[in-house]
Chain A
Amino acid sequence: MTDIPALAKRNSRLPVSTMAILALFALMVGLTMAGVINKYIQSVLMFIGINIIFSASLNIVNGYMGEFSCGHGGFMAVGAYVSSVLSVVLFTENSFTGQPLLPPGSAIFLFPVVIIIGGLVAAVFGLLVAIPSFKTRDDYLAIITIAANFIIVTLINNIGAVGGSRGFMGMKKSLKAMEAVIDLPYMIIWIFIFVVLSIVMIRRLMNSTYGKGISSIRYDETSAEIMSVNTNHMKLVAFMFSSGLAGIAGGLFAHVMGFVNPASFSIFKSTEGLVMVYLGGMGSLSGSVLSAVIFTLMLEALRPLQILKWVLIPLMLILLMQFRPEGLLGNRELSDVFPKLKRIFIRKDSSNG
């Protein structure tokens, strides 16, 4: 959790990292619009982005705070359904209100708001786990997280208005409404922006003295309390922030797919998140990003194996736990493993003034 000075000291000129991110953004949007990368590659890129948010958000609880949440998929479901229903009701003809409540074109401004509302509602559902965590820890809390996952999925399964177990669709029409105003690859753009925002927010939180209170719980909760850290408050922040980001990942996922059903957010989804967090390394933000990329690509590469891939991937997890239980990066960041990265940042920074 070292601080890269280039990000900490913000100068009038843009730091290298910001420029690199802007360049990547321009490259992706440019290539998509020019038709160089096809729909399949686009969708893989988008899933990578969604998985980055999903695994990085799970890392707040499982990595930084040291609790074992295995119901993260539930919060993704909340975000997915809330933002899907909102976007369908607000921007398209639908079975609830008939006509769209707002002019469909307004989706180009309001789409991110809808996604964020999905995240906020998911954050509120995070209380399902946050409040028990005041009294409960470790394995017992892990069981509560599984229960929360089941509660959420079962609730959705039984709400007929959103399709129950058959699922809910119509989000593609909101995208169409946006494309009718200006034709842009909206999902790529928004996923990219939300990925960057999530990473920046997690980084800033975990590098602040405030956020380090979350890590202090992981190492010794008793001394955290004795040293004036309000541990209940920090748990609330960690769980709500984590589930809120999962909700945002869910909203984006729903809009990429154009269709959601409760089964997509079962304990399997939560397990995927766990695999990514443990592959990347607990408490390592760059590890989460790296493992989300590797994991998504691996899922795609193993697609021809069909169901067999669910033998192969868990097998790899077994090997990982046997031979490198701390994950690819352990508790470190990429810049710790490759000090050159840090040196580049520092040199550029000092030359900036």
Chain B
Amino acid sequence: MAETLLEIKDLTHRFGGLTAVSDLNFEIIKDEIVGLIGPNGAGKTTVFNLVSGFYVPSEGDILYKGERINGLKPHEIASRQIGRTFQNIRLWSDMTVLDNIKISQHYRLGYNLMDAFLQTKKYKKHEKMIEDDAHELLEEFQLSDLAHEMPKNLPYGIQRRVEIARALSLKPALLMLDEPAAGLSSSDVSELIQYIQWIKENFKLTIWMIEHQMQVIMSLCSRIKVIDFGKELVTGTAEEVRNSPEVIKAYLGDGEI
């Protein structure tokens, strides 16, 4: 029996009078790569923001590893090992790549303010651990040479990789990627596909992604959920989704002019 990692039950979210997400149900099974697609404004990023704790859902529940996480603060959800990236890269662009990775280990600092002031044994031990782990992660991502660079000075494609590496410093079981291929050239995109595949194998992750580029979605995702106006249209394999009349209608209209 496959293990459910994330379970979304009857999720509804309203902004004032606008229902951005309505009655959404979704299960993400351990070890799969699933996609969330839909036309612009369909509520995809809102779903991500609900799961990562930026919004508290109006109705419904979000269960992660069986624990209810709606209502928790984003940093509390991050500490439960859910990593995420953003559609527009949100690195701390004026802090070094190394600092970006190190700060993202706040969830397991292991020392407090006093330890930092007095530079106690505990402080040194944990700082060393964080530093070593950060270097190890950068090494795995072949970013070691850039450890002391500021992200703002790096090319866009590299920034994407740094952002994914940063999300992985949370040691997540679930990685949520919000349009990882946005703004990449077509050669970068095929590289990204291999890259995501590699991350999944190497870090034993479950990946949930929003993506517009069908090439990425079709070649990676075992299951795809399509939403429009916050409601579910179809869930199925790439082939099923591609041939679904509802999806074609949502993207292209119903053919009557």
Using Cβ atoms and an 8 Å threshold, which residues of chain A touch B103?
209, 212-213, 216, 224, 227, 229
Query: Of all chain A residues, which has the CB nearest B112?
Result: A210
| CB of B65 within 8 Å of the partner chain | no
The reply to whether B75 and A223 contact each other, CB–CB distance below 8 Å, is: no
A50 CA to B90 CA, complexed, in Å = 39
Which residues in window 92-130 of B have CB below 8 A to A? 92-95, 99, 102-107, 109, 111-113, 116-117, 119, 123, 127, 130
A244 CA to B130 CA, complexed, in Å = 29
Most buried by A among B78, B92, B111, B123: B92
The reply to whether A223 and B107 contact each other, CB–CB distance below 8 Å, is: no
The reply to whether B92 and A230 contact each other, CB–CB distance below 8 Å, is: no
The reply to whether A201 and B95 contact each other, CB–CB distance below 8 Å, is: no
Contacting B117 at CB < 8 Å: which of A10, A205, A223, A231? A205
| CB of B226 within 8 Å of the partner chain | no
A211 CA to B169 CA, complexed, in Å = 18
| CB of B160 within 8 Å of the partner chain | no
Chain B 134-168, CB-CB to A under 8 Å as 1, else 0, gives 00000000000000000000000000000000110
Which size class do B's interface residues fall under?
35 or more
| CB of A138 within 8 Å of the partner chain | no
The reply to whether B90 and A222 contact each other, CB–CB distance below 8 Å, is: yes
Query: Of all chain A residues, which has the CB nearest B176?
Result: A226
Given contacts A201-B117, A229-B75, A231-B75, contact A209 B84 (CB under 8 A): no
The reply to whether A220 and B92 contact each other, CB–CB distance below 8 Å, is: yes
| Least Cβ–Cβ distance between A323 and chain B, in angstroms | 22
A283 CA to B90 CA, complexed, in Å = 21
The reply to whether A208 and B116 contact each other, CB–CB distance below 8 Å, is: yes
| Least Cβ–Cβ distance between A46 and chain B, in angstroms | 25
Given contacts A204-B116, A228-B105, contact A209 B130 (CB under 8 A): yes
Using Cβ atoms and an 8 Å threshold, which residues of chain B touch A212?
95, 99, 102-103
Chain B 224-253, CB-CB to A under 8 Å as 1, else 0, gives 000000000000000000000000000000
| CB of A133 within 8 Å of the partner chain | no
Which residues in window 226-247 of A have CB below 8 A to B? 226-232, 237
| Least Cβ–Cβ distance between A124 and chain B, in angstroms | 16
| Least Cβ–Cβ distance between B125 and chain A, in angstroms | 13
| Least Cβ–Cβ distance between A3 and chain B, in angstroms | 11
Given contacts A204-B119, A223-B86, contact A210 B75 (CB under 8 A): no
A10 CA to B106 CA, complexed, in Å = 25
| CB of A225 within 8 Å of the partner chain | yes
The reply to whether A223 and B113 contact each other, CB–CB distance below 8 Å, is: no
The reply to whether B95 and A209 contact each other, CB–CB distance below 8 Å, is: no
A204 CA to B115 CA, complexed, in Å = 10
The reply to whether B127 and A216 contact each other, CB–CB distance below 8 Å, is: no
| Least Cβ–Cβ distance between B87 and chain A, in angstroms | 12
The reply to whether B94 and A223 contact each other, CB–CB distance below 8 Å, is: no
The reply to whether B73 and A225 contact each other, CB–CB distance below 8 Å, is: yes
A232 CA to B90 CA, complexed, in Å = 19
Q: How many residues of A contact B (CB 8 A)?
A: 27
| CB of B36 within 8 Å of the partner chain | no
| CB of B91 within 8 Å of the partner chain | yes
The reply to whether B52 and A226 contact each other, CB–CB distance below 8 Å, is: yes
Given contacts A226-B84, A237-B113, contact A219 B92 (CB under 8 A): yes
Query: Of all chain A residues, which has the CB nearest B107?
Result: A228
| CB of B60 within 8 Å of the partner chain | no
Given contacts A205-B116, A225-B78, A226-B78, contact A216 B105 (CB under 8 A): no
Contacting A227 at CB < 8 Å: which of B54, B104, B119? B104
Chain A 6-33, CB-CB to B under 8 Å as 1, else 0, gives 0000100000000000000000000000
| CB of B170 within 8 Å of the partner chain | yes
A276 CA to B93 CA, complexed, in Å = 26
A233 CA to B84 CA, complexed, in Å = 22
The reply to whether A209 and B92 contact each other, CB–CB distance below 8 Å, is: no
Contacting B93 at CB < 8 Å: which of A208, A219, A227? A219
| CB of B79 within 8 Å of the partner chain | yes
Which residues in window 75-89 of B have CB below 8 A to A? 75, 78-79, 84, 86
Most buried by B among A10, A222, A229, A331: A229
The reply to whether A228 and B104 contact each other, CB–CB distance below 8 Å, is: yes
Using Cβ atoms and an 8 Å threshold, which residues of chain B touch A284?
none
The reply to whether A211 and B75 contact each other, CB–CB distance below 8 Å, is: no
The reply to whether A209 and B102 contact each other, CB–CB distance below 8 Å, is: yes
Using Cβ atoms and an 8 Å threshold, which residues of chain B touch A211?
116
The reply to whether B109 and A219 contact each other, CB–CB distance below 8 Å, is: no
The reply to whether A230 and B75 contact each other, CB–CB distance below 8 Å, is: yes
The reply to whether B111 and A210 contact each other, CB–CB distance below 8 Å, is: yes
Contacting B109 at CB < 8 Å: which of A204, A210, A215, A231? A210
Which residues in window 167-215 of A have CB below 8 A to B? 201, 204-205, 208-213, 215
A344 CA to B106 CA, complexed, in Å = 33
Contacting A219 at CB < 8 Å: which of B75, B94, B107? B94
Using Cβ atoms and an 8 Å threshold, which residues of chain B touch A228?
75, 78-79, 104-107, 170
30 residue pairs from A and B, CB less than 8 Å apart: A10-B119, A201-B117, A204-B117, A205-B113, A208-B123, A210-B106, A211-B116, A215-B95, A216-B92, A216-B95, A220-B91, A222-B54, A223-B92, A224-B75, A224-B92, A225-B74, A225-B78, A226-B78, A226-B84, A226-B86, A226-B90, A227-B104, A227-B106, A227-B167, A227-B170, A228-B79, A228-B170, A231-B75, A237-B113, A331-B94
A positions within 8 Å CB-CB of B: 10, 201, 204-205, 208-213, 215-216, 219-220, 222-232, 237, 331
| Extra pairs beyond A204-B116, A209-B102 (8, CB < 8 Å) | A10-B119, A210-B116, A216-B103, A220-B91, A223-B92, A226-B90, A227-B170, A229-B106
